[in-house]
Structure 1
């Protein structure tokens, strides 16, 4: 279920995501209705190697196009943010062996938090916590996959003019929780991405500190639309809802091993 928002705001969010994907990619290949975003440096990262359908495309031709564009990779991933386009593509993609999930686009509607407390860090400070979290979430993958999932954060610096990595620290100075903040001051849009807490610091309030800081920084940059993504079937969506985020749209994600 989504909450009503202006079409212009939702279109702005989708344009932001499309632009970020293009800028982050090492290379892109266009086709009618979308493009493939590819990065050979992080070939095992689905987030860096996928197809984004952001316009009108031929649903029946899409599975074959994806196979051609991603022939050098072992996985297939397709993102479709437009609901009508997603519905049109479901049958051909499922027939081709894809599984579908829904990722909500959630916009912050509450007041800007009065307190923050997290601070900006760089990738070296996050490398250890990121490695721990990926092994916790994906215990069966190899070291090469973990490497790409950790190091791919460097590519995110290309995605927007203002990219910040934020972290909350414990009393000993260890990183406890972290997230990305992407700001496009020109359009007044910001995205909060990959909010994660280290396993040893769960339920200590650190994620809230990071989220509040990101919201304050986005507001200070003049962003009137601040959004994040959350799986429609997972618990974080409820946690975000309690902090003032409402679903305004969704992205359909199609994956095939």
Structure 2
């Protein structure tokens, strides 16, 4: 299996983590009527040999509660799927670059002396939620602040926190950010959902977290670690300095019904 396909398989596993997907005519569909307009809670993936029209029809059947139709395309998606989505009026959101480090992440200079605390619904969750809300209000990753969206994303994070590792990142005794790391079933590790409060950026906080998370994942048996970055965002340059290299593109195709 190529690096791109392996990363795509691990990303799909993570994307479905804590959710209840249904397979319908080659479409792997996640639907959550309690959060009808949250894209991460209502979307479809296409199996590699799926008929594009059948995938779109399955999405329509599963989403009477939502005004959005969302399909995530990755290295395992047939090119005909993306072509059909474009033809049917879906719009491509900003692409994400999947970046893989085969060797341990490292920096030539010392990293910030951060400390980490685990966040679960029973452990440090109020402090974690404060950071997540700050992330959503800034809106760089999630768009303009919306209470429904923020609540929906936090609900997904609560479910995931029982299955993977969310960390509160502190520097000089102050909670300044958060991040996620977990081992995927195919032996890759994933680092995701990274945020640092604006006033604490530029101090090496996230570099330190990525290096620490990478070390922990490799000690747990991972033979590679990956993360993603928006194609037009500066963090991709930081990740490259840490040893991550681009291997694939993931795109979200969306359509809003009248």
Q: Provide the TM-score with structure 1 as the length reference.
A: 0.84
Which piece of structure 1 moves more, 242-251 or 137-146? 137-146
Q: Is the counterpart of residue 59 in structure 1 residue 56 in structure 2?
A: no
Unpaired runs of 5+ residues, structure 1, are 1-6
Q: CA separation in 1, counterparts of 2:199 and 2:4?
A: 37
> 1:83: Cα distance to partner?
6.3
Partner of 2:229: 230
State how far apart, in whole Å, the 2-side matches of 1:243 and 1:30 are.
Answer: 38
Query: Among 134, 144, 148, which residue is 2:148 paired with?
Result: 144
Aligned residues of 1:166 and 1:214 also touching (Cα < 8 A)? no
Alignment of 1:151-162 (within 5 A): 151-157=155-161, 160=163
- For the pair 1:169 / 2:163, whether they are aligned, the reply is no
2:65 corresponds to 1:72 = yes
Of 124, 127, 135, 1:125 maps to 127
Instruction: Flag the 1:253–1:63 CA change in 2: closer, same or farther, 3 A.
Output: same
> What's the offset of the Cα at 1:48?
2.4
Give the direction of change, closer, same or farther, for the CA distance of 1:141–1:178 in structure 2 (3 Å limit).
closer
User: Alignment partner of 2:53: what SS?
Assistant: coil
Match of 1:199 in 2: 198
After superposition, the Cα gap between the structure-2 partners of 1:213 and 1:41, relative to the gap in structure 1 and judged at 3 Å, is farther
1:12 to 6, 9, 32: 6
Secondary structure class of the residue paired with 1:35: strand
Shift of 1:91: 3.1
What is the RMSD of the two structures over their aligned residues, measured on CA atoms? 2.4
Aligned residues: 244
Equivalent residue for 1:39, pick from 10, 29, 32: 32
Larger relative helix fraction: 1
Q: Which runs of 4+ in 1 moved over 6 A?
A: none
Task: Give the CA deviation at 1:130.
Answer: 0.8
Query: Per-residue CA shift, 1:205-236, capped at 9, x if unaligned?
Result: 21112111111111111111211112223222
Checking the alignment, whether the CA contact within 8 Å between 1:106 and 1:227 is kept in structure 2 is yes
Q: What is the TM-score when the length of structure 2 is the normalising length?
A: 0.83
> Structure 1 200/99 Cα, relative in aligned 2: closer, same or farther at 3 Å?
same
